[in-house]
Amino acid sequence: IIERLCASRPGAGARALVLAPTRELALQIAEHFAMLGGARGLRTVTLIGGEPMGPQLAGLARRPDVIVATPGRLFDHIERRSATLSSVRIVVLDEADRMLDMGFAPQVERILAVTPLDRQTLCFSATMPEEVERLVRKHLSRPERVEVGTVAKPVAAVTQRLYATDSGQKMPLLLQLLGAERGQTLVFTRTKHRADRLARAVAAAGHRVTRLHADRTMSQRREALDGFRAGRYRVLVATDIAARGIDVPEISHVVNFDLPHTPEDYIHRIGRTARAEATGQATSFAVPEERDQLRAIERHLGHPVPR
């Protein structure tokens, strides 16, 4: 994208648009655009919820070459007529399955409707549910389909283990694990309220912990991620949606306090460890009520998760 933008003449407005499902992922993408394109004179603006409008309006007024946005906030700017997409030549839909799963389909449809028909559209998706297939059929013209490194299997460097337990034993197991192991630990839970409760219990046990979920403000989420990356916190408790885009090479342990709903989410979760040729451990707690999820995960893996 950067090569194409540098090879063409600047337009009256942004020439590339990247949509991402979460603020964290949008910030990560924008950071890479700024790093790689800034030295070549390309301007990038980030439009995400939870941030004041003022700096975003100022960024749009500088006629950026690239807009990186979450669908909700970009739609707000379109409604206010502070963002125009008539010069966009390239549209990227990143993590399209997660974007639609979060309920952004109406905003994505409206956003695509105000971009030129002769644009190039790139759709990236870990899975291809019917909602994504419909989006592709409607908005992509004669698309090429490329499958790269499917998410079917976890990397061999991740050591998996499972504890079949009950709800009352999960917290003692987690604290025992944190006491026995060293290194950065990412704990996944299913709900925001449970993430808060877990973080309080882990902190009470003497561990440096922070939490990441959709109810936290943008500054709180940024502080949590930055602190975890810098090692100020040893434990990060997160929900699936908030954790999309987390890239912390130092994570040595992933704990599924609650099993995920789908095998794809299981693969994505445990893939947060064993980055950059390192090794990692993924520990899952399974209660009897999660029997169906566990069966689906093991069927997907082709073998039982080691007990």
Q: Which CATH superfamily, name and number, covers 158-301?
A: P-loop containing nucleotide triphosphate hydrolases (3.40.50.300)
CA distances from 73 to 49, 68, 78, 149, 181 (A): 5, 11, 9, 31, 41
- Evaluate if residue 62 carries a pLDDT over 90: yes
pTM over 0.75: no
Where in the chain are all domains bearing CATH 3.40.50.300? 2-139, 158-301
The CA dihedral of 52, 57, 60, 66, to the nearest 10 degrees, is 10
Provide the percentage of residues in the chain whose pLDDT is more than 90.
Answer: 64
**Residues 58-69, mean pLDDT to the nearest whole number:** 96
Name the pLDDT band for 151 (thresholds 50, 70, 90): low
Residue bearing the bigger pLDDT, 53 or 154? 53
Residue bearing the bigger pLDDT, 72 or 225? 72
SS3 144: coil
The answer to whether residues 19 and 94 touch, using CB atoms and an 8 Å cutoff, is yes
Provide the pLDDT for residue 221: 84
Provide the pLDDT for residue 259: 95
Say yes or no: domain 2-139 is CATH 3.20.20.70.
no
- Evaluate if residue 150 carries a pLDDT over 60: no
Provide the pLDDT for residue 245: 64
| Sequence-distant (≥ 6) Cβ neighbours of residue 151 within 8 angstroms | 126, 127, 264, 267, 268, 271
Provide the pLDDT for residue 242: 63
Rounded Cα gap, residues 297 and 264, in angstroms: 8
Provide the pLDDT for residue 262: 84
SS3 188: strand
Q: H-helix or E-strand containing 46?
A: strand 44-47
As beta bridge partners, residue 46 has 68
Provide the pLDDT for residue 70: 96
Provide the pLDDT for residue 287: 95
Give me 80's structure tokens: 């206010």
Provide the pLDDT for residue 11: 73
Give me 128's structure tokens: 């291809």
Provide the pLDDT for residue 17: 98
- Evaluate if residue 244 carries a pLDDT over 70: no
